């Protein structure tokens, strides 16, 4: 035996015992805890309807989250107890059947199991040859099929819609500049780029053009019509005006489902215009791209398949637990050209782990989580047809809510819902706009504080209103009826109407 080898510390049994790891000493006891957690979680979702949508946190709970960095250990059973008692009872609320604030999905248990499984396997979706990478690419392919993009299109899963839009707009900017922006930067452009979207466009596009160095002013907000859809002829005028003034019109952003009111731009008309004007056509489909899988509503997004890039959000209408978004790009080469770099420490090989595709060449992240699995498992379990029906169900529920609002003399409907977003307000006679705003904000807050329902508010055409976005597979018609009753009761109590 080599005498030097026996001197290595790792060959010493006592030292081997002292080697630290994060693995438990006793796997059986963590298994018992894990089973308990699963039981608690099943109960949590099974009885979600019986709990408040949201509740304020008592001081002792808030205090827990101000405790300093833990230096020493705490038994995992105790750590879980802290989560069970102080985190789980105080959710944002979007898994509840009466949560309709802003715009988010309601999650699903299969997706939660998938997140657990993905974390156990722990794979990194930077790329390579392993099953998670194939699942990731298969999910991208399924989402691509859902919006009618060809098999040659590419895509990448990202954290959400904001990042998906940033990816799409980056490829748009780089592809339309007529210069090598990656190498030379915006300074080489003699004509500044201009992007066009409706005045209802989501705020993430502003962040995107700012991040891309174009500046907020490069994103022209074009007026919308009475239904809050982008006015196509106004875009044409703006493009002509910009050409005249020495700008380079580059990208037209259509919105399939605005965040304010759910308006779906006329995507086919925008595709025509983009073609006519030589613009990149990007669709923000974070809300509505997936209408394409809903039998009764797919017609609303006709033309989306003609886009150059689409951003969509499986954590909205596919109810994947946060977070997962997707950017699709029709021209795979342009997509890759916008992000690919091959540093010496990320070289591919013809065999082994690095023989798969480098997925980081299609986005900004190098490391990326295995979020695809939650979409994959839920789609396998239910089939895409069911998700389509759930989307139709939410749109039908919005029509019912609008009907309930219209039928009540103290309520005012601000716009006919086009898809699943209902804008309305409590508006008893004799109140001015300021009073109405004050009353409706109070209704919104009392609903939240009592845990009855969660809606948000917005201002539509200069008028403040409550806004219910029904992206929720747990909502039933009785929830909407109860909600309308609560709004009227609280409005009356507060305003004396």
Ligand X SMILES: *Cc1c(COP(=O)(O)O)cnc(C)c1O
Interface residues with ligand X (CB under 6 A) are 103, 160-162, 165, 202, 204, 255, 257, 259, 284, 286-287, 313, 325
Calpha distance 148→368 (Å, rounded): 26
Q: Is the Cβ of residue 261 or residue 495 nearer to ligand X in the bound state? A: 261
Q: Is the Cβ of residue 181 or residue 201 nearer to ligand X in the bound state? A: 201
Q: Closest residue (Cβ) to ligand X?
A: 161
Nearest distance from residue 402's CB to ligand X, in Å?
A: 20
Calpha distance 32→35 (Å, rounded): 5
Nearest distance from residue 288's CB to ligand X, in Å?
A: 8
Q: Is the Cβ of residue 160 or residue 371 nearer to ligand X in the bound state? A: 160
Q: Is the Cβ of residue 181 or residue 375 nearer to ligand X in the bound state? A: 375
Nearest distance from residue 464's CB to ligand X, in Å?
A: 20
Q: Is the Cβ of residue 195 or residue 358 nearer to ligand X in the bound state? A: 195
Q: CB–CB of 163/312 below 8 Å?
A: no
Nearest distance from residue 200's CB to ligand X, in Å?
A: 9
Q: Is the Cβ of residue 283 or residue 436 nearer to ligand X in the bound state? A: 283
Calpha distance 305→149 (Å, rounded): 5
Q: Is the Cβ of residue 139 or residue 411 nearer to ligand X in the bound state? A: 139
Residue among 250, 249, 267, 245 at smallest CA distance from 258: 267
Nearest distance from residue 230's CB to ligand X, in Å?
A: 13
Say if strands 456-460 and 421-426 run parallel, antiparallel, or are unpaired: unpaired
Q: Is the Cβ of residue 327 or residue 488 nearer to ligand X in the bound state? A: 327
Calpha distance 11→16 (Å, rounded): 7
Nearest distance from residue 340's CB to ligand X, in Å?
A: 24
Nearest distance from residue 398's CB to ligand X, in Å?
A: 15
Residue among 315, 334, 335, 336 at smallest CA distance from 326: 315
Say if strands 309-312 and 280-285 run parallel, antiparallel, or are unpaired: parallel
Phi and psi at residue 107, in whole multiples of 5°?
A: 70, 175
Q: Is the Cβ of residue 312 or residue 444 nearer to ligand X in the bound state? A: 312
Nearest distance from residue 445's CB to ligand X, in Å?
A: 23
Q: Is the Cβ of residue 266 or residue 313 nearer to ligand X in the bound state? A: 313
- Taking each helix axis from N to C end, the angle separating 384-406 and 477-495, rounded to the nearest 10 degrees, works out to 30
- Taking each helix axis from N to C end, the angle separating 267-277 and 232-244, rounded to the nearest 10 degrees, works out to 20
**DSSP three-state, residue 250:** strand
Nearest distance from residue 256's CB to ligand X, in Å?
A: 8
Give all strands (DSSP E) within 192-305, no chain letters: 193-198, 219-222, 248-255, 280-285
Longest dimension (CA), the chain: 98
Calpha distance 281→267 (Å, rounded): 9
Give all strands (DSSP E) within 173-247, no chain letters: 193-198, 219-222
Q: Is the Cβ of residue 287 or residue 452 nearer to ligand X in the bound state? A: 287
Q: Is the Cβ of residue 157 or residue 490 nearer to ligand X in the bound state? A: 157
CA dist list (Å): 374 to 15, 114, 115, 230: 41, 5, 6, 34
Nearest distance from residue 211's CB to ligand X, in Å?
A: 13
Nearest distance from residue 282's CB to ligand X, in Å?
A: 11
Q: CB–CB of 151/144 below 8 Å?
A: yes
Question: 239 — alpha (psi -120 to 50), left (phi > 0) or beta?
Answer: alpha
Nearest distance from residue 209's CB to ligand X, in Å?
A: 14
**DSSP three-state, residue 264:** strand
3-state SS, 136-176, equals HHHHHHHHHHHCCCCCCCEEEEECCHHHHHHHHHHHHHHHH
- Taking each helix axis from N to C end, the angle separating 433-449 and 477-495, rounded to the nearest 10 degrees, works out to 120
């Amino acid at each position: 035996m080599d005498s030097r080898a026996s001197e290595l510390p790792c060959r010493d049994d006592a030292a081997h015992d002292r080697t630290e790891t994060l693995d438990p000493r006793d796997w059986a006891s963590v298994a018992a805890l894990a089973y308990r957690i699963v039981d608690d979680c099943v109960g949590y979702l099974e009885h979600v309807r019986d709990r408040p949508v949201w509740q304020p946190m008592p001081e002792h709970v808030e205090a827990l989250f101000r405790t300093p960095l833990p230096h020493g250990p705490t038994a995992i059973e105790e750590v879980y107890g802290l989560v069970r008692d102080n985190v789980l009872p105080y959710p944002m609320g979007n898994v509840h059947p009466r949560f309709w604030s802003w715009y988010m999905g309601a999650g699903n248990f299969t997706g939660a199991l998938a997140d657990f499984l993905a974390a156990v396997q722990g794979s990194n979706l930077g790329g390579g040859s392993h099953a998670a990478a194939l699942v990731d690419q298969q999910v991208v392919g399924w989402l691509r099929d859902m919006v009618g993009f060809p098999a040659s299109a590419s895509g990448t899963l990202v954290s959400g819609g904001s990042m998906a839009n940033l990816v799409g707009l980056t490829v748009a900017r780089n592809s339309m500049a007529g210069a090598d922006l990656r190498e030379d930067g915006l300074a080489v452009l003699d004509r500044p780029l201009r992007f066009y979207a409706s005045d209802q466009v989501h705020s993430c596009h502003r962040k995107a053009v700012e991040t891309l160095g174009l500046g907020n002013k490069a994103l022209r907000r074009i007026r919308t019509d009475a239904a809050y859809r982008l006015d196509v002829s106004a875009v044409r005028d703006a493009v002509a005006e910009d050409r005249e003034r020495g700008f380079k019109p580059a990208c037209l952003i259509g919105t399939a489902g605005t965040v304010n009111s759910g308006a779906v731009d006329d995507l086919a008309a925008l595709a025509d215009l983009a073609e006519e004007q030589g613009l990149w056509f990007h669709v923000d489909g974070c809300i509505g791209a997936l209408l394409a899988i809903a039998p009764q509503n797919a017609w609303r997004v006709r033309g989306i398949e003609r886009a150059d890039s689409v951003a969509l959000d499986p954590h909205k209408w596919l109810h994947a637990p946060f977070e997962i978004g997707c950017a699709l790009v029709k021209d795979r080469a342009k997509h890759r050209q916008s992000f690919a770099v091959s540093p010496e420490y990320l070289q591919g090989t013809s065999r082994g782990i690095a023989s798969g595709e480098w997925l980081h060449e299609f986005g900004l992240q190098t490391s990326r989580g295995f979020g695809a699995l939650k979409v994959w498992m839920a789609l396998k379990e239910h089939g895409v047809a069911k998700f389509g029906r759930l989307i139709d169900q939410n749109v039908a529920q919005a029509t019912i809510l609008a009907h309930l609002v219209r039928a009540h003399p103290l309520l005012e409907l601000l716009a006919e819902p086009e898809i699943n977003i209902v804008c309305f307000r409590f508006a008893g006679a004799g109140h001015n706009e300021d009073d109405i705003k004050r009353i409706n904000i109070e209704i919104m807050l009392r609903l939240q504080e009592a845990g009855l329902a969660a809606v948000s508010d917005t201002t539509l055409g200069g008028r403040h209103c409550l806004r219910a976005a029904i992206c929720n597979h747990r909502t039933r018609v009785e929830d909407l009826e109860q909600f309308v009753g609560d709004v009227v009761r609280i409005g009356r109590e507060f305003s004396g109407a």
